[in-house]
């Protein structure tokens, strides 16, 4: 797990060998320490180079060990190993290729010199795992870079490119050639030279003026961005320790903070997200097709049909992934505007050509339709695409909720039709729902998943149903938020509860941002509002269940949200972003309640969270039961990467497991009893069965789901 060899007569090269990322597992730690001791005691060895085997230097501590204290404690500890490295009386050079992340960079910081390949990157991303750099990184990095630069790296967890790392002083030298060879040559030149000032543990932190004020402000800033996550705040505390305490005291503080974080539910949730993100790539279908047995045909050319906001973002995402893209928009004025916008986003042409004619899609390997949400329009386009496009071309729709099967049946190639549900802005948001219908072929899914990866997306394979997974679960969440307004809550109260939970935006601010008219159009299509609803129908009931017309009434008032400067909140002007409370809305809600004989009651944040989140989670169990998502992990990936669910809470299904399934069930039963006309609050049978089987851990839920029809 750590190769040891002597080169050029005097240099011991220790190479970490643990593919694919050379993580510091117990066996690697054992090997590293033995190698360091061997180098220390061998009189022929006069310098040491530490590198990663076959490319990457090191991806940090082995995250798989974190869930298990006995794994964590087996083998020598990183802190102890890094102390031995730093204390070596012979120069130690880190030869960094690929990446040095987390414990990997901490190892490099314990070395006396750091050589990097010009394409390498370094970072301390522990914060995104709910942790801090717990093997000396929080103490050594500020001593090397100064507090400001170190704090930025540690609190954001960002990866720093080699060029920047050189400027910061984090790397001593860069090479375009063979990093190990260059490091070996350098190590030889450093043999016999004094090392004391190269040991970061010996150095004081560069002084900083107004240190207390600096850290107070850093804490406020971190708290503002953390959305309830504990790790960023602990990172600030640890760096403050580096700036104010002797090294060993700082290390003690780091250890205490790390122990608290490591055993917290937040770290568990963040770790779960790490593996969930990667696990989504291992998709399956009920026909037995799997990610690892199904060959995807590569896609190199694409066409995007419709250049509204979504179409433009999709064009940019595809072009950035290296595809040659034809962007098609039949309305000339929109085409010109889109061309300018896309060029701006791509900072130039970037392999995109433009056309007003659908025929331009004829040669594309993949076509993504992104026109507005109107089934009749989309059907017409799919009919045309079916005859225009070359055989074998995949036809995708970016619909957020319409029926993929219906679109597939307009074509002569239903096995090549699928949904690619991008999230706005499409070139920024990480999530991609890859939607397959019963006739979509496994090769089509494989090609789309591969393309998603090329675009840097977290792609999740889901089945076809109204709203797919994400929007289907959002519906009950939104519905409960409306009901809460009817019962006495204000948008501010509901949003505050959700933002405190960790969402970047509460449901009403989010709805103002995306536009209330979108949901209004969908409800009209569904016959829930609009001309199809007769005057004798009760306003607050549809198809025998409770219905809130609040969103419809707002739209009738022209309050579409930010775009009209008025929605659930007031904005300074159309398009402005800062939401202010609106006295008009308060009277509107009071009048509404009075008209419908509703008595406003006091609603607390706990009820807001339980009603909104439990309803969403309950739908998540239905999604699993129906087989529309392959696993709870896939649902969680969708919510974390597409809907702003806080990572430190793991995703809705993980959250349900963490709260306790029995408690979620009890909550739903209580609320359903109080609101029997709201079926989304009625606990679904899978949740009941899971509780009856003793609430197994989340990775065992599939055993209880088994036996149910799956659409995937
Ligand atoms: C009683 C209580 C006791 C408490 C004791 C507390 C004291 C504990 C002391 C511990 C000290 C630890 C100190 C250290 O500071 C902590 C860390 O180092 S945490 C780890 C930090 N590193 C990272 O966060 C990097 C994570 N990885 C990545 O970002 C990427 O994987 C990558 C390295 C950039 C590579 O990206 P890609 O090439 O795209 O590859 P993938 O991401 O697909 O990964 C491939 C494969 O590798 C697995 N993997 C990646 N990193 C790790 C890792 N660090 N450990 C384990 N496994 C890793 C990944 O899951 C993929 O596997 P697959 O899913 O395909 O099976």
DSSP 401-416: SS-HHHHHTTSS-GGG
Higher pLDDT, 446 or 350: 446
Give the pLDDT score at 535. 80
User: What is the pLDDT averaged over residues 444-465?
Assistant: 95
Cβ of 136 closer than 6 Å to ligand 1, yes or no, is no
Banded pLDDT at 522 (limits 50, 70, 90): confident
Residue whose Cα lies nearest atom 1 of ligand 1: it is 69
**Residue 137 alpha carbon, nearest atom of ligand 1:** 15
In a domain, 215, yes or no: no
Cβ of 93 closer than 6 Å to ligand 1, yes or no, is no
**Residue 61 alpha carbon, nearest atom of ligand 1:** 18
User: What is the pLDDT averaged over residues 646-665?
Assistant: 98
Cβ of 102 closer than 6 Å to ligand 1, yes or no, is yes
In a domain, 261, yes or no: no
Residue 106 annotated among the catalytic residues of the structure: yes
Interval between CA 276 and ligand 1 midpoint (Å): 13
Give the pLDDT score at 374. 86
Structure ipTM: 0.99
Say which of 106, 329, 369, 433 is annotated catalytic. 106
**Residue 60 alpha carbon, nearest atom of ligand 1:** 18
Higher pLDDT, 532 or 564: 564
Q: How far apart are CA 275 and CA 396, in angstroms?
A: 28
Looking at the structure, do residues 520 and 617 belong to the same domain, yes or no? Answer: no
Looking at the structure, do residues 511 and 386 belong to the same domain, yes or no? Answer: no
Banded pLDDT at 583 (limits 50, 70, 90): very high
Gyration radius (Cα) of the chain, Å = 28
Give the pLDDT score at 99. 98
**Structural domain total, the chain:** 4
Task: Write the burial class of residue 669 (CB in 10 Å: 0-12 exposed, 13-18 middle, 19+ buried).
Answer: middle
User: What is the pLDDT averaged over residues 245-258?
Assistant: 98
Residue whose Cα lies nearest atom 41 of ligand 1: it is 278
Looking at the structure, do residues 305 and 453 belong to the same domain, yes or no? Answer: yes
Looking at the structure, do residues 411 and 337 belong to the same domain, yes or no? Answer: yes
Residue whose Cα lies nearest atom 60 of ligand 1: it is 275
Interval between CA 5 and ligand 1 midpoint (Å): 27
**Residue 135 alpha carbon, nearest atom of ligand 1:** 13
Say which of 126, 329, 369, 492 is annotated catalytic. 126
Interval between CA 104 and ligand 1 midpoint (Å): 10
Cβ of 109 closer than 6 Å to ligand 1, yes or no, is no
Looking at the structure, do residues 688 and 572 belong to the same domain, yes or no? Answer: no
Give the pLDDT score at 537. 86
We report the CATH number of the domain holding residue 29 as 3.90.226.10
Residue 707 has pLDDT above 60, yes or no: no
Q: Which of 202, 222, 238 is the last residue of a domain?
A: 202
Q: Which of 336, 448, 397 has the alpha carbon at shortest distance from 327?
A: 336
Q: What percent of the chain has pLDDT over 90?
A: 89
Residue 235 has pLDDT above 60, yes or no: yes
Looking at the structure, do residues 680 and 583 belong to the same domain, yes or no? Answer: no
Pocket test of ligand 1: the residue of 21, 103, 131, 159 to mutate, having most ligand atoms within 8 Å of its CB, is 21
Interval between CA 65 and ligand 1 midpoint (Å): 10
Looking at the structure, do residues 407 and 481 belong to the same domain, yes or no? Answer: no
Give the pLDDT score at 290. 84
In a domain, 256, yes or no: no
Q: Which domain holds residue 541?
A: 472-595
Looking at the structure, do residues 476 and 516 belong to the same domain, yes or no? Answer: yes
Within 344-464, strands assigned E span: 352-355, 366-369, 394-397, 417-422, 431-436, 458-463
Rounded-to-5 percentages of helix, strand, coil across the chain? 50, 15, 35
**Residue 279 alpha carbon, nearest atom of ligand 1:** 64
In a domain, 287, yes or no: no
In a domain, 272, yes or no: no
User: What are the C-alpha distances in Å from 94 to residues 27, 31, 562?
Assistant: 20, 16, 52
* Lowest-confidence region among 47-51, 90-94, 526-530, 568-572: 526-530
Cβ of 78 closer than 6 Å to ligand 1, yes or no, is yes
Q: What are phi and psi of 101, to 5 degrees?
A: -125, 145
In a domain, 305, yes or no: yes
Looking at the structure, do residues 461 and 476 belong to the same domain, yes or no? Answer: no
We report the CATH number of the domain holding residue 359 as 3.40.50.720
Give the pLDDT score at 72. 75
Q: Which of 202, 230, 252 is the last residue of a domain?
A: 202
Cβ of 419 closer than 6 Å to ligand 1, yes or no, is no
Cβ of 292 closer than 6 Å to ligand 1, yes or no, is no
Looking at the structure, do residues 657 and 688 belong to the same domain, yes or no? Answer: yes
Cβ of 291 closer than 6 Å to ligand 1, yes or no, is no
Looking at the structure, do residues 60 and 178 belong to the same domain, yes or no? Answer: yes
Give the pLDDT score at 712. 53
Half-sphere exposure of residue 531, counting CA atoms within 13 Å on the CB side? 0
Give the pair of three-digit tokens for residue 706.
Answer: 């088994």
Pocket test of ligand 1: the residue of 19, 59, 125 to mutate, having most ligand atoms within 8 Å of its CB, is 59
Give the pLDDT score at 532. 81
Q: Which of 407, 434, 468 is the last residue of a domain?
A: 468
Pocket test of ligand 1: the residue of 60, 255, 275 to mutate, having most ligand atoms within 8 Å of its CB, is 60
User: What is the pLDDT averaged over residues 507-517?
Assistant: 95
Give the pair of three-digit tokens for residue 671.
Answer: 């609320």
We report the CATH number of the domain holding residue 672 as 1.10.1040.10
Cβ of 60 closer than 6 Å to ligand 1, yes or no, is yes
**Residue 129 alpha carbon, nearest atom of ligand 1:** 24
The string of DSSP codes covering 484-550 is: HHHHT--HHHHHHHHHHHT-SS-HHHHHHHH-HHHHHHHHHHTTSSSTTS-TTS-TTEETTEE---H
In a domain, 365, yes or no: yes
Looking at the structure, do residues 564 and 454 belong to the same domain, yes or no? Answer: no
Report the predicted TM-score, pTM, of the whole model to 2 decimal places: 0.95
Coil/strand/helix, residue 323:
coil
Q: How far apart are CA 552 and CA 549, in angstroms?
A: 5
In a domain, 712, yes or no: no
């Amino acid at each position: 797990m750590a190769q040891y060899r002597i080169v050029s007569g005097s240099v011991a090269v220790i190479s970490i060998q643990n593919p694919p990322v050379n993580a510091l597992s117990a066996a690697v730690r054992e090997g590293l320490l033995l190698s360091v001791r061997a180098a220390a005691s061998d009189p022929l060895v006069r310098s040491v180079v530490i590198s990663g085997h076959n490319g990457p230097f090191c991806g940090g501590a082995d995250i798989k060990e974190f869930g298990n204290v006995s794994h964590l404690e087996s083998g020598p500890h990183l802190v102890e190993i890094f102390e031995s490295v730093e204390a070596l009386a012979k120069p130690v050079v880190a030869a960094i290729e690929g990446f040095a992340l987390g414990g990997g960079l901490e190892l490099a910081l314990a070395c006396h010199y750091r050589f990097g390949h010009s394409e390498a990157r370094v970072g301390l991303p522990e914060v995104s795992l709910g942790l801090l750099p717990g093997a000396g990184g929080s103490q050594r990095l500020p001593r090397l870079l100064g507090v400001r630069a170190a704090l930025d790296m540690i609190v954001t967890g960002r990866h720093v490119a080699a060029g920047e790392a050189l400027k910061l002083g984090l790397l001593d030298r860069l090479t375009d050639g063979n990093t190990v060879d260059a490091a070996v040559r350098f190590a030889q030149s450093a043999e016999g030279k004094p090392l004391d000032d190269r040991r970061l543990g010996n150095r004081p932190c560069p002084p900083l003026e107004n240190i207390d004020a600096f850290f107070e402000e850093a804490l406020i800033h971190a708290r503002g961005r953390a959305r309830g996550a504990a790790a960023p705040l602990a990172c600030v505390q640890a760096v403050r320790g580096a700036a104010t305490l002797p090294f060993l005291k700082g290390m003690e503080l780091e250890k205490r903070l790390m122990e608290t974080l490591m055993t917290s539910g937040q770290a568990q949730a963040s770790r779960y997200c790490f593996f969930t993100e990667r696990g989504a790539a291992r998709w399956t279908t009920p026909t037995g097709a799997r990610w690892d047995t199904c060959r995807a045909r590569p896609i190199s050319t694409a066409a995007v049909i419709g250049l509204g906001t979504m179409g433009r973002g999709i064009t940019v995402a595809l072009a950035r992934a290296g595809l040659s893209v034809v962007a098609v928009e039949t309305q000339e004025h929109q085409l010109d505007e889109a061309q300018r916008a896309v060029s701006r986003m791509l900072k130039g042409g970037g392999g995109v050509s433009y056309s007003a004619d659908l025929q331009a899609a004829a040669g594309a390997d993949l076509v993504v339709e992104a026109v507005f949400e109107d089934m009749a329009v989309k059907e017409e386009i799919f009919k045309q695409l079916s005859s225009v496009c070359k055989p074998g071309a995949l036809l995708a729709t970016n619909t957020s909720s319409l029926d993929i099967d219906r679109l597939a049946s307009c074509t002569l190639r239903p096995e090549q039709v699928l949904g690619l549900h991008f999230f706005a802005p499409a070139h920024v948001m990480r999530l991609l729902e890859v939607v397959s219908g019963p006739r979509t072929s496994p090769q089509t899914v494989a090609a789309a998943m591969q393309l998603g990866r090329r675009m840097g997306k977290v792609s999740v394979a889901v089945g076809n149903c109204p709203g797919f997974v994400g929007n289907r679960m959002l519906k009950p969440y939104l519905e409960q938020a409306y009901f809460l307004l009817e019962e006495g809550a204000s948008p501010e109260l509901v949003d505050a509860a959700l933002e405190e939970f960790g969402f970047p935006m509460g449901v009403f601010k989010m709805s103002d941002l995306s536009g209330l008219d979108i949901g209004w159009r969908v409800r009209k299509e569904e016959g829930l509002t609009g001309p199809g609803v007769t005057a004798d129908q009760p306003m607050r009931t549809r198809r025998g269940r409770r219905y809130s017309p609040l969103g419809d009434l707002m739209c009738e008032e022209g309050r579409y949200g930010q775009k009209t400067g008025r929605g659930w909140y007031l904005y300074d002007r159309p398009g402005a972003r800062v939401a202010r409370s609106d006295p008009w809305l308060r009277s509107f809600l009071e009048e509404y309640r009075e008209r419908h004989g509703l008595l406003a009651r006091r609603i607390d944040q706990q009820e807001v969270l339980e009603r909104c989140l439990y309803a969403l989670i309950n739908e998540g169990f239905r999604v699993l039961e129906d087989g529309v998502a392959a696993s709870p992990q896939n649902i969680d990936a969708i919510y974390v990467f597409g809907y702003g669910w806080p990572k430190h809470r793991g995703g809705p299904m993980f959250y349900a497991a963490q709260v306790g399934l029995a408690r979620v069930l009890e909550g739903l039963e209580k609320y359903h009893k109080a609101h029997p006309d709201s079926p989304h609050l009625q606990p679904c049978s899978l949740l009941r069965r899971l509780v009856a089987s003793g609430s197994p851990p989340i990775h065992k839920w599939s055993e209880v789901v088994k036996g149910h029809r799956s659409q995937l």
